[in-house]
């Protein structure tokens, strides 16, 4: 996917005044906080937001998983996918199309898409949405029961609620990624893929060690759709080896 998307348009000439400035400005309404004004202005000028509306995705985040999959090719027809914290559903929408969950690609295997969240999510054609706290006891067994077996992909675009305290937020994000990885290790099929939002530096050292022990390849990447001023990156771990409990000498990080 091109970083600029296809949402931009060229401005036309206007009465000899040169090209018109089409950048949308949002005036600060009485009582509107500056942060809200800046957020709204950014949304209105974001080509990914406009593109998502045109292409029927529930948010610009859909393009993050599209771009990651374009590079690493894990959402293949027939794959069984679990999306943790799936609201509002953009990642599920992408997965449905790419794994052929609706059977629209003739002659290709039909995949499964399972979305999990703590809140209600509007129905998505081709996806099964369940209200579930994936941190709860027995969650992995429930997921495997719903899938009728193991998963080929576990993915997560979850972000912990901000407390406003950088150190606290850091710990929350780390804990969330660790919990998502723990579930992935319990439910993934050998050869499977784990994708999750992490911090700007990539997965923490302990997480890198865990993933390198259990997957053939581990990459930390920032897809073009991720905003430049965002501190997020994504870890993409491919080629699940099957859970390995002990750390051997050759498992240490490079």
Q: 32 falls in which pLDDT band (50, 70, 90)?
A: low
Binding residues for S-adenosyl-L-methionine are 89, 91, 117, 133, 157
Which tops the pLDDT comparison, 96 or 160? Answer: 96
Spot the catalytic one: 30, 33, 197, 217: 197
For the chain, the DSSP string reads: --TTTT---PPPB-TTS-B----------TT--HHHHHHHHHHHT-HHHHHHHHHT-SSTTHHHHHHHHHHH----TT-EEEEET-TT-HHHHHHHHHTTTT--STTSPP-EEEEEESS-----TT-EEEE--TTSTTHHHHHHHHHTS-EEEEEE---PPP-S-HHHHHHHHHHHHHHHHHHHHHHEEEEEEEEEEEBTTBS-HHHHHHHHHHEEEEEEE--TTS-TT---EEEEEEEE-----SPPGGGS--
Residues, the chain, total? 254
**pLDDT tens track for 102-111:** 999 999 999 9
* Residue 71 annotated among the catalytic residues of the structure: no
Domains within the chain, CATH numbers bracketed: 31-59 (no CATH), 61-251 (3.40.50.150)
Q: What is the mean pLDDT of residues 54-78?
A: 94
Q: 129 falls in which pLDDT band (50, 70, 90)?
A: very high
| pTM of the shown model | 0.77
| Average per-residue pLDDT for the chain | 82
Q: What is the mean pLDDT of residues 196-209?
A: 83
In this structure, what are the phi and psi dihedrals at residue 221, rounded to the nearest 5 degrees? Answer: -135, 155
Give residue 88's pLDDT: 95
Does residue 15 come out as left (phi exceeding 0), alpha (psi in the -120 to 50 range) or beta?
left
* pLDDT reading at 252 higher than 50: no
Residue 126: CA atoms inside 13 Å, Cβ hemisphere, count? 24
């Amino acid at each position: 996917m091109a970083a600029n998307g296809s949402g931009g348009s060229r401005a036309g000439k206007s009465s000899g005044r040169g090209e018109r400035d089409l950048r949308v400005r949002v005036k600060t309404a009485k009582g509107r906080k500056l942060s809200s004004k800046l957020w709204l202005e950014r949304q209105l000028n974001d080509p990914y937001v406009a593109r998502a509306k045109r292409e029927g995705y529930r948010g610009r985040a859909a393009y993050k998983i599209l771009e990651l999959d374009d590079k690493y090719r894990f959402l293949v027809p027939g794959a069984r996918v679990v999306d943790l914290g799936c609201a509002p559903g953009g990642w599920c929408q992408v997965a449905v199309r790419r794994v052929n969950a609706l059977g629209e690609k003739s002659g290709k295997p039909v995949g499964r898409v399972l979305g999990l969240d703590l809140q209600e999510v509007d129905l998505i054609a081709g996806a099964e949405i369940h209200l579930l706290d994936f941190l709860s006891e027995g969650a992995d067994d429930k997921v495997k029961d719903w899938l009728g077996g193991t998963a080929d992909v576990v993915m997560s675009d979850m972000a912990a609620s901000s407390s406003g305290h950088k150190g606290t937020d850091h710990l929350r994000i780390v804990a969330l990624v660790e919990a998502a990885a723990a579930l992935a290790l319990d439910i993934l099929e050998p050869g499977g893929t784990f994708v999750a939002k992490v911090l700007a530096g990539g997965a923490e050292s302990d997480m890198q060690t865990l993933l390198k022990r259990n997957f053939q390849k581990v990459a930390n990447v920032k897809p073009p759709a991720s905003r430049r001023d965002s501190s997020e990156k994504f870890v993409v771990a491919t080629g699940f080896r099957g859970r390995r409990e002990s750390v051997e000498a050759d498992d240490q990080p490079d």
